[in-house]
């Protein structure tokens, strides 16, 4: 009995000493590094440092954006264009040299969009970062030969054809989950899901590298009331959201984050879709509905809609041109920290 009492006393005393000296350490101006591990290559949030000697504009505490909301109602900062320095943010992440996976599906006639997506991605998407484009397709011979930058590759994943576009959409969750388990987990630190019928119009940089990121739907980001969001409203579906719940409406055209966080989210959408299928119901907007359910449940994503804008320039020949344009990114950060993606025209 005395042995266990003295042992407990020793442990308590040691803990008290650690807390005491830790307080002194912080008081003297030192910082405690974060222990949030970024996937598998060993770096941590605390490793987000910038090399000395970098030249950049001095930040201001007085001047900034006043035309947009800068914080969510759960106290997450909204980081818009103009609130970060691309020179600084790129320098920080280039030092870490993360591996970025981009997952796109080009099934059937959608292979026609590959060339525009890849060429514009090479011009604007995370330039000078390591990027692998994972192209899921049923027509490998239609994947174009594109000149890629240093450290950038294409990996083709063959999948079955689909009869309906809804099957392609739902299949994205299934095949991405399977391929992360079999391949991508060993090759990437971050993962993005993107629509192939899109082109990059301007910079899409390291400000998007975050624990989780998503984009507010361009049609519902500004003045739409929550009861008007196109959430799944049927209680029979796993994606069901009542009319009096919800914060924002997210598009499934662009979303990304740490590999393992994205794996959890993609697998969630897949398993929830499978449960719906067992009950002979399909969510109104397929995985986008389940994505929004996840965001409402876990409060982890918030974003604005001008990153993914419809291509309205050629209304008489829309089938020949991309459905979306990716514009400059604007992001939201969470206190934990999580970055949430916003976009600005």
Q: How would DSSP label each residue in 81-131? A: TTSS-HHHHHHHHHHH--EEEEEEEE-GGGGGGHHHHHHHHHHHBSTTSEE
Closest CA to 292 of 195, 226, 344, 211: 226
Confidence (pLDDT) at 245:
94
Tokens 């576009």 locate to: 165
Confirm if 156 and 125 have CB atoms less than 8 A apart: no
Query: What region does 44 belong to: left with phi over 0, alpha with psi -120 to 50, or beta?
Result: beta
Chain mean position to CA 69: 21
Q: What is the pLDDT of residues 171-203, one digit of tens each?
A: 889 999 999 999 999 999 999 999 998 888 888
Lowest mean pLDDT among 77-91, 197-211, 266-280: 77-91
Confirm if 247 and 72 have CB atoms less than 8 A apart: yes
How many DSSP H helices and E strands does the chain contain? 6, 12
Angstrom CA distances, 248 to 223, 230, 294, 301, stand at 11, 11, 12, 9
Model-level pTM? Answer: 0.76
Catalytic amino acids?
288
Q: What is the pLDDT of residues 22-57, one digit of tens each?
A: 655 545 544 444 334 444 455 555 567 777 888 888
Per DSSP, 306 falls in state G
């Amino acid at each position: 009995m005395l042995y266990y009492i003295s042992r407990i006393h020793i442990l308590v005393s040691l803990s008290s000493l650690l807390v005491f000296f830790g307080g002194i350490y912080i008081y003297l101006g030192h910082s405690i590094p974060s222990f949030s591990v970024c996937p598998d290559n060993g770096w941590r949030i605390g490793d987000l440092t910038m090399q000395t000697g970098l030249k950049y504009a001095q930040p201001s505490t007085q001047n900034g954006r006043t035309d947009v909301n800068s914080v969510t109602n759960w106290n997450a900062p909204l980081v818009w264009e103009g609130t970060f320095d691309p020179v600084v943010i790129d320098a920080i992440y280039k030092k870490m040299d993360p591996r970025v996976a981009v997952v796109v599906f080009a099934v059937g006639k959608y292979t026609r969009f590959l060339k525009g997506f890849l060429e514009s991605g090479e011009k604007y998407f995370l330039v000078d970062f390591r990027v692998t484009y994972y192209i899921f397709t049923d027509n490998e011979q239609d994947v174009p030969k594109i000149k890629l930058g240093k450290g950038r590759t294409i990996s083709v994943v063959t999948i079955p054809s689909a009869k309906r576009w809804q099957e392609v959409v739902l299949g994205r969750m299934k095949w991405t989950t399977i391929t992360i388990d079999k391949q991508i987990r060993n090759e990437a630190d971050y993962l993005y899901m993107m629509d192939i019928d899109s082109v990059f119009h301007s910079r899409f940089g390291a400000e998007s590298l975050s624990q989780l990121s998503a984009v507010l739907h361009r049609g519902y980001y500004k003045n739409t009331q929550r009861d008007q969001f196109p959430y799944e409203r049927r209680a029979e579906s796993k994606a069901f959201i009542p009319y009096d719940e919800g914060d924002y409406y997210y598009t499934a055209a662009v979303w990304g984050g740490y590999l393992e966080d994205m794996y959890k989210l993609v697998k969630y959408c897949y398993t929830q879709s499978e449960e719906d299928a067992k009950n002979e119901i399909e969510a109104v907007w397929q995985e986008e509905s389940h994505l929004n359910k996840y965001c409402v449940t876990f409060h982890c994503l918030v974003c604005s809609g001008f990153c993914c804008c419809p291509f309205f320039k050629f209304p008489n020949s829309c089938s020949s041109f991309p459905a979306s344009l990716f514009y400059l990114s604007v992001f939201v950060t969470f206190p934990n920290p999580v970055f949430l993606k916003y976009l600005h025209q």
